[in-house]
Amino acid sequence: MPCASKSRDLRSLALSCVILVSIAPSLARADDPPVAPPATPTATPAASPPAATPPAVEPAPIDPGPLAPRAFPAGDAATTGAIYSDYEHRANARVERIATSRGGLPIRAITLHGTDAKRKLPALLIVGGMDGENMMSTEQVFAALKAFDGEQKTLLESMRVYAIPEANPDARAVAFKTNHPRSTNLRAVDDDRDGTVDEDGPRDINGDGVITMMRRVAPPGRTATHVVDAADPRIVRTANHDKFEVATHEVFVEGLDADADGLMSEDGPGGVDLDRNFPHRYPESARDAGPYQLSEPESLGIAKFVRDHPEIATAIVFGRHDTLAHFPDTKDKDSTGRTPMVYHEDDHALYREFGKLWKDSTKIEKSDTADLAGSLVIWLADHRGITAVAANGWARPELPKLPEGTPAPAETGDGEQAAWLAVSDRMYGGRGFIAWKTFDHPKLGPVEIGGFAPFFRESPTAVQASAIADKSAQFVVAAMAKRPEITVSDVVVTALADGLARIEMRVTNKGTMPSISAMGRIDGVLPPIVVRLALKPDQVLSGRPVEKIERLAAGASVDYQWIVRMPTA
């Protein structure tokens, strides 16, 4: 019969459980800047003759603020340093340098924990600043950390947070300094393989303060590749041979042929794209992927940090990739036939839940993305077994509808460029495009310099980024709250004859997510749930003294029973 818990002999049969669980996150993109609705015409009194219909007037352009990277608070080293300093002086936080960039800048990790810093808990990893193109990702990480300052701080009692806001500080520093997007670090690379490194990069040769594009009519002996669009001459695009178009122009990145090899701006400073330098699907033939996997101090430092923290169960990587707004629905495997290209097919339902959570918490339905080959997020998911998602949140803003009666714009040969030009014209007051202007190039002769403004398409403005970052933080909080919850219940100790006892118990996942992803179970990197009897092995007569649960689905339970010899007083 069941014995009372106050029995001295049975009380000594202590059960200890070591439990590691994972949570489920998701992501998306922020709402576009608010658009003022067109004014509603005042009704004409019935006695008056009908008034003439006024001409259609488009709403005044919405000002989203200066283009990135200007006005970004994290762009100022002093501001960023003050943020890290603030966390260094908090009782529930720790800041550590996990690596040093090729340019000598620190790569720091911030830890947020509950009241007991030494308590073993599963952890969430948040990473941003992988490049100098989408400048918003660092803001998204800082906004997520700030979300735990208030009432959400209680979440830290059940899960630790690790954050790496600036994974590639060199790329971001150069982008802020030059006002030009940069995806790579500062490794010296001979991009044009002429034996000299970084000798012919993009430069502002016309002195207008930005680096854009150059176009010219291809002279005899040169191969033309592009045409100027007939409907909108601002657009220069590849010739459509299906429509029998004949290319007339050459296009270059603004710069000088400093090494006199006939190529323009082909060998600039740096570097290696960190989000192409991780082992899974490493693109070994790509020049920006690095000489070998984890060749860079930045990517290697992140990998070592992950290795040294096996309690990391979930990761959210903010940057130019997205797996939430647009789920990568593929079941293809890599060349080995064993590792998924993106996510294991048995995890698709789990990751779709992440996407739903992202859209529900952020109201962001669209997001730009990029090729995932060699990226941090799929290395975490497929090589480390961590439930990992990538979140961007930025995409071409949706334009307000034109007033009724407005003529439709002329159809161009490049709908995407035309759409961005419309965004520039109607939402940015034209600041997104720099008009083509004639310039006498010292080597090419007469050219036109212009094109889309730097960062206009790659990154939201600081105003837009702030709104997206706040929404992203809501997603992180929602992901922390929506996680596995492993409990031990129904513990019954029954005395038997001859000093024996039967112990029964149940382990249940009361959460809404599995304890680990299917890929995590296959990798075997993350530790399982361990149920351990605090008895000597020879005291356990039936059942195993140590039980492992490799994966416990949401709502699932596992029942255990042991026959043990009761310890003597």
Per the omega criterion (within 30 degrees of 0), is the bond before 69 cis? Answer: yes
Of 94, 97, 96, nearest to 114 by C-alpha is: 94
| Cβ-contact 143, 74 below 8 angstroms | no
pLDDT of residue 16: 38
According to DSSP, the β-strands at 387-391 and 312-318 are parallel
Q: What is the pTM of this model?
A: 0.84
Residue 38: phi and psi, rounded to 5, are: -65, 145
For residues 484 and 507, give the distance between their C-alpha atoms in angstroms, rounded to a whole number: 12
According to DSSP, the β-strands at 387-391 and 236-238 are unpaired
* Two tokens, residue 558: 């596992």
Dihedral sign computed on CA atoms, order 304, 305, 310, 312 = negative
pLDDT of residue 10: 40
Residue with tokens 């799929």: 378
pLDDT of residue 257: 76
Q: How many CB atoms lie within 10 A of CB 44?
A: 10
For residues 251 and 217, give the distance between their C-alpha atoms in angstroms, rounded to a whole number: 9
pLDDT of residue 484: 84
Of 520, 498, 511, 517, nearest to 554 by C-alpha is: 511
Element (H, E) at 86: helix 77-88
For residues 556 and 508, give the distance between their C-alpha atoms in angstroms, rounded to a whole number: 6
* Two tokens, residue 267: 């060998």
Angle between helices 462-481 and 348-362 in degrees, nearest 10: 130
pLDDT of residue 55: 46
Element (H, E) at 94: strand 93-100
pLDDT tens string 304-351: 999 999 999 899 999 999 999 999 999 998 888 888 999 999 999 999
According to DSSP, the β-strands at 123-127 and 160-164 are parallel
- The list of the chain residues with pLDDT below 70 reads 1-62, 74-78, 190-200, 259-262, 264-269, 569
* Two tokens, residue 537: 């092995």
For residue 185, give the 3-state DSSP assignment: coil
Residue with tokens 């996997």: 293
DSSP letters of 444-469?
TEEEEEEEEPTTTTTS--HHHHHHHH
- Identity of the residue numbered 471: K
For residues 256 and 265, give the distance between their C-alpha atoms in angstroms, rounded to a whole number: 7
Of 456, 418, 396, nearest to 229 by C-alpha is: 418
Q: How many CB atoms lie within 10 A of CB 240?
A: 12
Of 394, 459, 426, 452, nearest to 62 by C-alpha is: 426
For residues 383 and 481, give the distance between their C-alpha atoms in angstroms, rounded to a whole number: 26
| Cβ-contact 420, 456 below 8 angstroms | yes
* Two tokens, residue 553: 């689905």
Please give the angle made by the CA atoms of 129, 132 and 133, to the nearest 5 degrees.
Answer: 105
| Cβ-contact 318, 124 below 8 angstroms | no
* Two tokens, residue 261: 């090899």
Which DSSP category does 33 fall into? P
For residues 215 and 233, give the distance between their C-alpha atoms in angstroms, rounded to a whole number: 12
| Cβ-contact 112, 93 below 8 angstroms | yes
For residues 103 and 372, give the distance between their C-alpha atoms in angstroms, rounded to a whole number: 26
Q: How far is CA 304 from the centre of its chain?
A: 19
Strand partners, 145: none
> Quick one: three-class SS letters along 254-304?
CCCCCCCCCCCCCECCCCCCHHHCCCCCCCCCCHHHCCCCCCCHHHHHHHH
Which DSSP category does 2 fall into? B
pLDDT of residue 123: 92
Q: 176-201 burial string, b = 16+ CB within 10 Å, else e?
A: bebbbbbbbbbbebebbeeeeebbbb
Of 261, 237, 262, nearest to 251 by C-alpha is: 237
pLDDT of residue 12: 39
According to DSSP, the β-strands at 486-495 and 500-509 are antiparallel
Residue 308: phi and psi, rounded to 5, are: -80, -5
